[in-house]
Structure 1
């Protein structure tokens, strides 16, 4: 077992053998909830755009998914390598872009 196994459990979620980055745990619950709401809406928009074959809408929906995932710390720079202040700023920037 590695020295970082506890912190690795906080950082990664394993689903069907695939490793996914967890949401930044230092974010306020209300921020996480709002970002996840935007993420869900964007994922639904991706599905709808694919169904309609609307390439421009699909690109915009995927961009919104990406912004929300960055805000949650699930993409981009690893949240555990950033200061808490920078992590919170990243989430607020994402929210401002998605509102």
Structure 2
């Protein structure tokens, strides 16, 4: 599998001709790895809960991880200050195994 193309400005990756917002390049590697691990756990949880009442919570977990990575959210990472970007990736993002259940 080859690496996806990146737009000249570095804001997007291009996969199969479609643009997707790139991960914030300022995220420290250790935190990026942690957030990607959480994202992938939530994606597995979406598959597991598909069609159930828990699916919405699983999708919310995916969204939270993608926001922390800078792949979603407003404003985009390139329009944020360094302090705003750091606050975004430092925010607590839990994985499906870290949820508090009642």
Answer yes or no: same fold by TM over 0.5. Answer: yes
Q: Residue in 2 aligned with 1:6?
A: 8
State the shift of 1:84 in Å.
1.1
State the shift of 1:82 in Å.
0.4
Q: Residue in 2 aligned with 1:92?
A: 90
Q: Distance in 1 between matches of 2:36 and 2:68?
A: 10
Q: Distance in 2 between matches of 1:41 and 1:58?
A: 13
State the shift of 1:54 in Å.
1.6
Identify the structure with the greater helix proportion.
1
1:75 to 60, 72, 77: 72
Q: Residue in 1 aligned with 2:57?
A: 60
State the shift of 1:73 in Å.
0.2
Unaligned stretches of 5+ residues in structure 1: none
1:39-81 alpha-carbon deviations (Å, 9 max, x no partner): 000000000001xx322x1111100000000000000121000
Q: Distance in 1 between matches of 2:33 and 2:59?
A: 19
TM superposition outliers: structure 1 runs of 4+ over 6 Å: none
Q: Residue in 2 aligned with 1:43?
A: 43
**TM-score, normalised via structure 1 length:** 0.83
Task: Give the aligned CA root-mean-square deviation in angstroms.
Answer: 1.3
Aligned residues: 88
State the shift of 1:34 in Å.
0.6
